[in-house]
Structure 1
Amino acid sequence: MRFRLPFLPSLLAALLAGGGAQAQLWHTPQATAAQPLLKGFQAQGDLLTRGQTRIELDRIGQRVIGVYVTAPRSDTDGVARAILSAWGAPETAVPDLKKVLDDPGFQQQAATRLFEEVDQSGGSVANVRLRQDGWQAYTALKVYPQSAFPKESASLGQGNAPARLDLVSDFQCPYCHQLWNSVSMAEWRSKPGVYQLNYHHFPLSFHPLALPAAQASECAAEQGRFWEFSDRLNEGFDTWTRQTDPEARRSFRDYALGAGAAPEPLDRCLGQDHSRQIMAGADRLQRSLNVTGTPSVYLNGIKLGNYNDASEIRAIRAVTEAGPGAANVTEQRLKTLR
């Protein structure tokens, strides 16, 4: 069983504010080892040592995807430096983390439990364990398995496409509307042999028309018209988002008919309540992926920091599509902590 680390949220918040979180994980082993934070360690390839403390860099190609450390119980300084090196943290961050690792109460808990903390961006995760012979800690890219995502109503693209994109979205969200009309979305949709798109509903409570729109999209999906309906919904975004609930629902019906849905089965579906199913999926996303806002885009299980950043997309594809893949590498490492 994993428990959330009590100490990392505030520390990670500070790192995120400075743009540090996840930054170092994409670098080369040489760049990671050259950080001032690790100045006292001797580097030999992917291994860094200081006394009995060992830091191993997991990488795919020339990109570091994880930092694993084993250390004597007394070397909490080395453990702190290893954890923080994954985020390119400054030297000034070490004392705060070391103080927690030195705390007897935390050590007592860490001796019996594997602690996990995902950073606020959702892109990386820290795991800590204290065993009789010393510390183990692993900071790595957070790769969510496909099972973490609810079953989607409609996919776009080929099932064997190497790049799977999971879009967590709210139809009334203006930023989701921007995503729908983005250059990236156009490129993904134009390459069905490369990208498979999967849409997941996450209607936010302060968007009153998001849930009715999601229900209408499910009715369009029943007739194989989800993406066509969603295109029309986004084309009319400035219109229906200003309408009352009854007016918007009539617009949704018109969009579905315009997308090619047959009227009789559409009306039967629209007369039913699909909210429980939709909200159950959203609740699962919140619990399994810690989703708090929209849009959230995941490429092969890794959350994109910027869906318009072509270099980030190339990097994620490089570490997930090349064998053995980031998910397998990090999972094998995590087995040693469980």
Structure 2
Amino acid sequence: MTSRSSFLVAALLVGSAQAQLWQTPQVTATQPLLRSFKADGDVLRAGQARIELDRVGQRVIGVYATAPKANTEEVARAILAAWGAPEEAVPSLKQVLDDPGFQKQAAAQLFEEVSEDGASAVQVRLRDGSWQAYTSLKVYPRDAFPKVSAPLGDAAAPAQLDIFSDYQCPYCNQLWHSSNMAEWRSKPSVYRLNYHHFPLSFHPLALPAAEYSECAADAGRFWEFSDRLNEHFGTWTEQQGAAARQSFAAYAVDAGVKQDALDRCLAQPRTAEIQAGADQLQRTLGVRGTPSVYLNGIKLTNYSDAAQIRAIRAVTEAGPGAGKVIEVRLKAMR
């Protein structure tokens, strides 16, 4: 078993346990997994092992641990404490940390693994005979998200939403018609929406639909065209290629795109460019499916969870912000 799969096994043992990231420092410090540690504010100690709780406001956004090389159990407990893991997860992760192969890897460079839901990450480094381990929210910087042709909302809006979507995806259609999308679009001074194309290979009409949407964007009608695509989802998704393209053209004209402008745009195909952009998103952000929604650089595990949205906004919009706090830690570990 490789170190990566072992980390995943340990994470999966968390099951339905509530993640300690987002909790108050007091809640995180008093969980049974850290019973051997003594707390002094945001610092916890057990012998030579030390844990620091990074927080923004009253929410823990990162758990940083240092310990001598031999203290792998304390390091394992610190890592798993950020996930709210049960006691039985400790031996599995300790075994990974004790593995010479993993130790060699962690000594050569910073090891990182993003959680299965994409919302948190663990980073481990072994340097000068001591462990450094940091489990934190996974916050992507603004420049990790490519520019889009038709952002919706004010440029200075505090809540930046990046939506990765496939027009032929039924779950994306549900998102489009959701009360969440309606709220985001109705508050341009609060939310700025960035729509990223992520056509899935098993949806043959998603790529041509995206191409027509970019032509609509050239005419300043991206969102109007997308509204019509989603409104008539049950019609064009039952059509074959040529018929679907006729529908796309009709939706574009209905949305306000001039036919001659549409024809000129379509004469210069953009499918390769759109697909290349999706491939880049998969590599850099690990996007796997649609819809995927990121709020201020953090992936929403449930876009309809109002409490999660409030929590993310709380730790990213208050200074200095979770992204900056986490980056300072990681810079020292690299």
Query: Could you say which TM-score interval applies, normalised by the shorter chain?
Result: over 0.9
Residue 311 (structure 2) aligns with? 315
* Aligned mate of 1:234, from 230, 236, 257: 230
Residue 16 (structure 2) aligns with? 19
Superposed structure 1 runs of 4+ greater than 2 Å apart: 4-7, 9-15
Give how far 1:44 is off. Answer: 1.1
* Aligned mate of 1:263, from 251, 259, 263: 259
Residue 246 (structure 1) aligns with? 242
Letter of the 1:12 counterpart: A
Stretch moving more, 235-244 or 266-275 = 266-275
Q: What is the CA–CA distance in structure 2 between the aligned matches of 1:138 and 1:290, rounded to whole Å?
A: 20
Residue 122 (structure 2) aligns with? 126
> What residue ranges of structure 1 are gaps of 5+ in the alignment?
none
2:137 is the counterpart of 1:141: yes
Letter of the 1:196 counterpart: R
Letter of the 1:29 counterpart: P
Q: What do the CA deviations read for 1:162-208 (whole angstroms, capped 9, x no partner)?
A: 00000000000000000000000000000000000000000001111
Residue 45 (structure 2) aligns with? 49
Give how far 1:6 is off. Answer: 5.4
Letter of the 2:249 counterpart: R
**Does the 8 A contact of 1:216 with 1:252 survive in 2?**
yes
Letter of the 2:16 counterpart: G
Residue 186 (structure 1) aligns with? 182
* Aligned mate of 1:114, from 110, 115, 122: 110
Letter of the 1:221 counterpart: A
**Does the 8 A contact of 2:24 with 2:58 survive in 1?**
yes
Q: Secondary structure at the match of 2:161?
A: strand
Q: What is the CA–CA distance in structure 2 between the aligned matches of 1:305 and 1:196, rounded to whole Å?
A: 19
Give how far 1:20 is off. Answer: 3.7
Q: What is the CA–CA distance in structure 2 between the aligned matches of 1:109 and 1:178, rounded to whole Å?
A: 43
Q: What do the CA deviations read for 1:41-91 (whole angstroms, capped 9, x no partner)?
A: 001110100011100000011100000000011100000000000100000
2:3 is the counterpart of 1:7: no
Q: Secondary structure at the match of 1:336?
A: helix
Residue 62 (structure 2) aligns with? 66
Q: What is the CA–CA distance in structure 1 between the aligned matches of 2:16 and 2:114, rounded to whole Å?
A: 16
Residue 91 (structure 1) aligns with? 87
Q: Secondary structure at the match of 1:67?
A: strand
TM-score of the pair, normalised by structure 2: 0.97
Stretch moving more, 267-276 or 38-47 = 267-276
2:34 is the counterpart of 1:38: yes
Identity across aligned pairs (percent)? Answer: 67
Give how far 1:222 is off. Answer: 0.7
Q: What is the CA–CA distance in structure 2 between the aligned matches of 1:307 and 1:223, rounded to whole Å?
A: 30
Q: What do the CA deviations read for 1:111-160 (whole angstroms, capped 9, x no partner)?
A: 11110000111000000000114100000000011222222111000000
Q: What is the CA–CA distance in structure 1 between the aligned matches of 2:147 and 2:292, rounded to whole Å?
A: 16
Give how far 1:12 is off. Answer: 2.4
Residue 283 (structure 1) aligns with? 279
Q: What do the CA deviations read for 1:201-228 (whole angstroms, capped 9, x no partner)?
A: 0000111110010001011001111000
Q: What is the CA–CA distance in structure 2 between the aligned matches of 1:315 and 1:269, rounded to whole Å?
A: 42
Give how far 1:5 is off. Answer: 4.2
Q: What is the CA–CA distance in structure 2 between the aligned matches of 1:116 and 1:235, rounded to whole Å?
A: 42
Number of equivalent positions: 332
TM-score of the pair, normalised by structure 1: 0.96
CA RMSD of aligned residues (A): 1.2
Q: What is the CA–CA distance in structure 1 between the aligned matches of 2:249 and 2:136, rounded to whole Å?
A: 46
Q: What is the CA–CA distance in structure 2 between the aligned matches of 1:305 and 1:112, rounded to whole Å?
A: 32
Q: What is the CA–CA distance in structure 1 between the aligned matches of 2:13 and 2:77, rounded to whole Å?
A: 16
Q: What is the CA–CA distance in structure 2 between the aligned matches of 1:8 and 1:203, rounded to whole Å?
A: 30
* Aligned mate of 1:292, from 269, 288, 298: 288
